[in-house]
Amino acid sequence: MDVREMLAVAVAEARQGLVEGGIPIGAALFGPDGDLLGRGHNRRVQDGDASTHAETAAFRAAGRRPGYRGTTMVTTLSPCWYCSGLVRQFGISHVVIGEARTFHGGHDWLAEHGVRITLLDDPECVAMMTDFIAARPELWFEDIGQEG
């Protein structure tokens, strides 16, 4: 499975989040052989859960595992510090990012610490977040802990 196919899974999750009235960020975790381990999307609105960013949702859906060596986390948006910390702590090897134009999280820090980063700069991901931030700025700022 190539990185574009992986991203398509995360994009489908983001779209589902939008349909549900939520924040359109999706993610998926793939194993070393490209097998899908878990997928999910931001659930702040749907579950009233501030802790479930897309990457955490995908990580949780993958269940308990002895380790994450060789795994790939794909996300529609540059991972925030929380989700970047997840990647570093659990030793996820590779992060595929849809875009980092609308939000620049911790992926440079991850690269400094040996995580492989693939930034796709995908126009659909950029458009989805640009539209969302314009429509619901207060929700977006809440999701990244930026007080007005």
Sheet arrangement for strand 72-77: 36-41, 26-30, 72-77, 94-99, 116-119
CB of 68 to a second copy, least distance (A): 6
Contacts made by residues 133-136, CB under 8 angstroms, sequence distance 24+: 133/102, 136/23
H helix or E strand, kind and range, residue 119: strand 116-119
Active site residue 55: yes
Residue 33 or 67: the one with the smaller Cβ distance to a second copy is: 67
CB of 142 to a second copy, least distance (A): 6
What is the per-residue binding string for a second copy in 32-51, x denoting contact by CB under 8 A?
Answer: ------------x---xxxx
3-state secondary structure of 30: strand
Helix axes 3-19, 123-135, angle to 10 degrees: 20
124: Cα separation from own chain's centroid: 15
Residue 21 engages a second copy in binding (rule: CB under 8 A): no
- Catalytic residue from among 13, 55, 99, 138: 55
CB of 120 to a second copy, least distance (A): 23
Binding segment toward a second copy, per CB under 8 A, in 19-27, 78-86, 116-124, 127-135: 78-86
Cα–Cα distance, 101 to 116 (Å, whole number): 19
Active site members: 55
What residue ranges bind a second copy (CB under 8 A)? 44, 48-52, 56, 59-60, 62-69, 80-86, 88-91, 106, 142, 144-148
